[in-house]
Structure 1
Amino acid sequence: MESTMQQGALTVAGILRYGSQAFPDAEVITYDGTDGVRACFSEVAERAARLAGALAGIGISPSDRVGTFCFNHQQHLEAYLGIPAMGAVIHTLNLRLAPDQLGYVIDDAGDRAIIADGMMLPQLAQVLEACPSVATVIVVGATADAAIKEQIAKRCKVLDYEEFLRDAAPVVEWPDVVETDAAMICYSSGTTGNPKGVVYSHRSTYLHAISALPLYSQRSWNILESKGDVALIVVPMFHAAAWGAPYACWFTGSTMIMPGRFLQAEPLAAMIERFHPTLSSGVPTIWNDLLNYLESHPTDVSSLRMLTSGGSATPRSLIETYLEHYNIPVVSGWGMTETSPVCTLAIPPSGTPRERLVDYLATAGKVVPGVELRIVDDQQQVQPWDGKALGEIEVRGPWITAGYLGGRGGENFDDGWLRTGDIATVDREGYVRIVDRTKDVIKSGGEWISSIELENAIMAHPKVAEAAVIAVPDDRWFERPLAFVVVKPGEDLEVGELRDFLATRIVKWWLPERFSFVEAIPRTSVGKFHKKVLREGYQAGNYAIHEVKRTQSEE
């Protein structure tokens, strides 16, 4: 029996129309270092339509790829809306990619035009010769080096973004787009080999944005106060669609604060005091840096009702400190580029006593509606949700990729399920606890040591700013943990003191006997600890290692 329901397409144009009509006066604020450049949703929508008209004017057609090489700002949001709405495909380029990988992804995607911040032109100029598909570069903002602009102009047409929009007629009627057609391309971070392209559809983008609405719906929770959310979107718009935040905010009429290039703790604190955001999204390293800054620079952060954290495991000590000192819950989420990315959110059950909140917040969370999740062992046997059984997370759902651009990565799929590479347990309430990455788990004497749990234990020490743990070869135990530790400025920390501290928090045989005190831990292009660089540096002998002898009780 067929239903009687209409078959309206779920498209980015639908998102654009809804937000501009339902919340025409909601604002987008782009931070410029001292104040904010403001535009209302209706203005942003009109400019997105002008962008689409201008792109059509230079020959961009449906399914053509348009790259963005930008920080978070209003113009990037206009591209998020206008490019997919016209039927073209936005390709968000990671600002932190090495030149060889940047050139690879531009060429692999076949970008015909690139919208780039003026300050990013030197990086772009390094790779354009290897990207024959690029015919036009559209520059946002000032260019510090005129010679770089001239260099690019010898290779392709160079246009000014504001002039480009000013001279264009806006699209009045958005074309009918098939909802399963491509809307956006994001590439995996490529820590091993070249990045792989994940192509989001209009349908997947629309449904993923709907799944995130509970995070941005304070307006519906406080009817009498009539307050809406103000979202400080710190997570980069080049990374997994900024976790869907721009589209979710557009759906809810939430004010968006775009930090531009000002992603350090000091300007973020200034933005919080200036614009009073109610929530913000970012990776744990950002929230750790902000926390360290707040310790010595008192700042009014009382407007924040929540921080969301993802990209890597959020240390329990960080969650505890924000909750105890600032009354701000840090809600973790789990996902990856291949999952659009949100799959789980650590929202505690209703009625959870305050003393138990951290127990839930410190998990990866419960799977969100629309996503199916299971854990499987080495023999691909599905494991129970009992909080004990370990297995690799596999997921499927309407915003989970079924493959990669060009048909790559077939080994990442298991009979319709995406293999994620994350090892986890799931308790009977459905809360996921990430134990490790399959490539990062430490196998010591036949037993597993979780590098994530060990890192969290180390970072709980009051003198430790951050820590990363890798496995290193051991003649007796096959592998043992090596802890890289960054000590907070002005503090002194000895190995013995740190091991005594850890002995009260972890089982004795987990205690590392190898430590390296470093000034900073290398990060990937999306802010995660870059353990591949740590392993290579260790193998090359680049780190001073402090080694102690294990006692009999630790074996």
Structure 2
Amino acid sequence: MLGNMMFQPLLISSLIEHAARYHGDTPVISKNTDGTITKTDWTHISENAKRLANALRGLGLNSADRVATIAWNNHRHLEAWYAISGSGMVCHTINPRLFPEQLIFIINDAQDRVVLFDKTFLPLIKGVKAHTPNVEHFIYLGAFDQDVADAIPEVKFYDALIAENSADFDWPEIDELSASSLCYTSGTTGNPKGALYTHRSTILHTYAISLPDSLNLSSRDIMLPVVPMFHVNAWGTPYAAAMVGATMVLPGPGLDGASLVQLIDEFKVTVALGVPTIWQGLLTAAKQAGSKLDSLKRNIVGGSACPPAMMATFKNDYDCETIHAWGMTETSPLGSSNQLKAKHATLSEQDRFKVRLSQGRPPFGVNLRITDQENGTHELERDGHTTGNLQIKGHWIINQYLGKSSSALTSDGWFDTGDIASLDQDGYLTLSDRSKDLIKSGGEWISSVELENIAMGHPQIAMAAAIAAHHPKWDERPVIIAIKAPDSEITEQALLDYFADKVAKWQIPDKVIFVDSIPLTGTGKMLKRDLREQFGNVLLS
């Protein structure tokens, strides 16, 4: 017997309709590519989304056609998101920091018919244009610009399209299992792979990240997503902001610490989201500016493990709660987030901080397990100590990659993340490492994450990466690649001595190499592959 309740498909268009109807005057503040600030609201975001939807239909696009965006976090990009997915097309967010060959590959692989872009990426567009024959239209996200017109004569201008088209547009009612957006993995090994999300998976993910035990989002929040919209859809926050009616502060291209401090203080940001390298810059800039970041109540850290010293600084110096989260492109991305349970209230502050260091527990909608590294489907005990392959399944987890006929899952239906981790009885997840970043010394495993956290706990170290270097006796040994904090005079031996009472003697790195910069991926993670190529033989000479 079926129930007697209404059925409405779970569609992204319903998010912007809700935001415009019930939170229409809630601000959306956007820092543009030229540094100017645009103040708009959810009503106007919705109206412009409908105008762009009409414009795309006028260009001959149909449901399921792919429309790419290469843009920063700004109001035009946000409008385009809802226009594309809301009208039944697929919003393909492209990471502009990929190699040109990878960009060409994913535009062709996705069969994008339109590319929308910010001026920052004009040289990139000009360079790949001849190699992307499927693209019929290039749309510049701005007003008429002679430089853009000279570089791409056939270009269309976003502001003109908006002005020419009506806001009278009825969002189509489509199957909730229809594709809504497309994100590609970073492609650190081989070509990037496409994860094709559905309207249903996106809406369920949006509910999940908004929950109090997740990112705890509400209409009272002023949200600063520093994580780019081209990185797993800014972790889904533009959808969640519309769902709960939050104010958004979109930072544009200015992701340096000083720019972020200014935005937080000027617009009273309450919650911000980004990777640890971003927050390192923010903390440095806040200290230099004398800012106490008074409005900031929580920061969400994902992308890679947050150093304990960074969490302590946010808490002790800025009274800001750090929510550790974990996810990946294939998981939409949220797989876990760290909120305490009622029973943790009785713990000491130090013990609560230890719980906070984990990547948290899964929300309803996904499930986690760890399995034997030799037998990928044999589940291991959730005791908080035993480590194994981290696997996940749920409503917003990938089933197969775009264009691939084979499943991306294990034989019993789980997605293997490539992470090595432990779980406790409450589901709290602690990542040991990426399997490819573990250091195997004399047959024993060493966690690069643990070594990095220790190194970055030293007040004179700004950033550190731990890599495996080849060793004639032990196969591999850990080496620390570090950036000194400003005015630091720390020596190699002083940093090695810092490890002495924090790890077993055999896990202490063999060497420290001080550098001026550490290469980062397009999403702000340390690019250890490049570091291994550069320094992997340093112990052999």
Length-normalised TM-score, structure 1: 0.93
Q: Which residue number in structure 2 is paired with residue 202 of structure 1?
A: 199
Deviations 1:79-123 (Å, cap 9, x if unpaired)? Answer: 111111101111001121111111111111011011111221111
Q: Which residue number in structure 2 is paired with residue 117 of structure 1?
A: 118
- Cα pair 2:456 2:462 within 8 Å, conserved: yes
- Cα pair 2:400 2:408 within 8 Å, conserved: no
Deviation at 1:329, TM superposition (A): 1.3
Alignment of 1:349 onto 2:341: yes
> What pairs up with 1:54-65 in 2 under 5 angstroms?
54-65=55-66
Instruction: Say which SS state the counterpart of residue 407 (structure 1) adopts.
Output: coil
- Cα pair 2:466 2:479 within 8 Å, conserved: yes
Structure 1 residue corresponding to 2:257, chosen from 248, 262, 265: 265
Tell me how far apart the structure 1 counterparts of residues 5 and 77 of structure 2 sit (CA, whole Å).
36
Structure 1 residue identity aligned to 2:89: A
Alignment of 1:364 onto 2:359: yes
Aligned Cα root-mean-square deviation (Å): 1.9
> What pairs up with 1:132-531 in 2 under 5 angstroms?
132-141=133-142, 146=147, 149-153=149-153, 157-214=154-211, 219=218, 228-350=220-342, 351=345, 353-378=348-373, 379-380=375-376, 381-407=378-404, 410=407, 413-531=410-528
- Cα pair 2:225 2:272 within 8 Å, conserved: yes
- Cα pair 1:305 1:329 within 8 Å, conserved: yes
Q: Which residue number in structure 2 is paired with residue 29 of structure 1?
A: 29
Instruction: Say which SS state the counterpart of residue 503 (structure 1) adopts.
Output: coil
- Cα pair 2:115 2:139 within 8 Å, conserved: yes
Instruction: Give unpaired runs (5+ residues) of structure 2.
Output: none
Deviation at 1:35, TM superposition (A): 6.2
Deviation at 1:142, TM superposition (A): 6.2
Structure 2 residue identity aligned to 1:386: D
Instruction: Say which SS state the counterpart of residue 163 (structure 1) adopts.
Output: helix
- Classify 1:102/1:408 alpha carbon distance in 2 versus 1 (closer, same or farther; 3 Å): farther
Instruction: Say which SS state the counterpart of residue 529 (structure 1) adopts.
Output: coil
Tell me how far apart the structure 1 counterparts of residues 60 and 352 of structure 2 sit (CA, whole Å).
54
Tell me how far apart the structure 1 counterparts of residues 392 and 539 of structure 2 sit (CA, whole Å).
41
Structure 1 residue identity aligned to 2:304: S
- Cα pair 1:347 1:361 within 8 Å, conserved: yes
Instruction: Say which SS state the counterpart of residue 4 (structure 2) adopts.
Output: coil
Structure 2 residue identity aligned to 1:330: T
Deviation at 1:354, TM superposition (A): 3.1
Structure 2 residue identity aligned to 1:2: L
Deviations 1:467-515 (Å, cap 9, x if unpaired)? Answer: 0011122122121111101111211111211111110211111001122
- Cα pair 2:469 2:539 within 8 Å, conserved: no
Tell me how far apart the structure 2 counterparts of residues 408 and 522 of structure 1 sit (CA, whole Å).
34
- Cα pair 1:513 1:547 within 8 Å, conserved: no
Tell me how far apart the structure 2 counterparts of residues 288 and 329 of structure 1 sit (CA, whole Å).
15
Tell me how far apart the structure 2 counterparts of residues 377 and 340 of structure 1 sit (CA, whole Å).
25
- Classify 1:164/1:536 alpha carbon distance in 2 versus 1 (closer, same or farther; 3 Å): same
- Classify 1:88/1:218 alpha carbon distance in 2 versus 1 (closer, same or farther; 3 Å): closer
- Classify 1:144/1:8 alpha carbon distance in 2 versus 1 (closer, same or farther; 3 Å): closer
Structure 2 residue identity aligned to 1:150: D
- Cα pair 2:286 2:292 within 8 Å, conserved: no
Deviation at 1:442, TM superposition (A): 0.8
- Classify 1:66/1:390 alpha carbon distance in 2 versus 1 (closer, same or farther; 3 Å): same
Q: Which residue number in structure 2 is paired with residue 552 of structure 1?
A: none
Structure 1 residue identity aligned to 2:312: E
Instruction: Say which SS state the counterpart of residue 406 (structure 1) adopts.
Output: coil
Deviation at 1:34, TM superposition (A): 6.6
Tell me how far apart the structure 2 counterparts of residues 171 and 28 of structure 1 sit (CA, whole Å).
22
Instruction: Say which SS state the counterpart of residue 91 (structure 2) adopts.
Output: strand
Tell me how far apart the structure 1 counterparts of residues 101 and 35 of structure 2 sit (CA, whole Å).
35
Q: Which residue number in structure 1 is paired with residue 132 of structure 2?
A: 131
Alignment of 1:103 onto 2:109: no
Tell me how far apart the structure 2 counterparts of residues 145 and 297 of structure 1 sit (CA, whole Å).
38
- Classify 1:411/1:160 alpha carbon distance in 2 versus 1 (closer, same or farther; 3 Å): closer
Deviation at 1:357, TM superposition (A): 3.1
Q: % of aligned pairs identical? A: 37
Q: Which residue number in structure 2 is paired with residue 68 of structure 1?
A: 69
Tell me how far apart the structure 1 counterparts of residues 144 and 478 of structure 2 sit (CA, whole Å).
46
Tell me how far apart the structure 2 counterparts of residues 417 and 228 of structure 1 sit (CA, whole Å).
37
Deviation at 1:412, TM superposition (A): 5.6
Tell me how far apart the structure 2 counterparts of residues 354 and 305 of structure 1 sit (CA, whole Å).
18
Tell me how far apart the structure 1 counterparts of residues 193 and 93 of structure 2 sit (CA, whole Å).
13
Tell me how far apart the structure 2 counterparts of residues 316 and 143 of structure 1 sit (CA, whole Å).
48
Deviations 1:337-358 (Å, cap 9, x if unpaired)? Answer: 0000001001122325433332
Instruction: Say which SS state the counterpart of residue 207 (structure 1) adopts.
Output: helix
Alignment of 1:19 onto 2:16: no
Tell me how far apart the structure 2 counterparts of residues 311 and 390 of structure 1 sit (CA, whole Å).
20
Structure 2 residue identity aligned to 1:456: N
Structure 2 residue identity aligned to 1:120: F
- Classify 1:534/1:34 alpha carbon distance in 2 versus 1 (closer, same or farther; 3 Å): closer
Deviation at 1:546, TM superposition (A): 8.4
Tell me how far apart the structure 2 counterparts of residues 164 and 35 of structure 1 sit (CA, whole Å).
21
Tell me how far apart the structure 2 counterparts of residues 185 and 171 of structure 1 sit (CA, whole Å).
27
Deviation at 1:374, TM superposition (A): 0.5
Q: Which residue number in structure 2 is paired with residue 223 of structure 1?
A: none
- Cα pair 2:215 2:300 within 8 Å, conserved: no
Structure 2 residue identity aligned to 1:359: K
Deviation at 1:37, TM superposition (A): 1.2
Q: Which residue number in structure 2 is paired with residue 224 of structure 1?
A: none
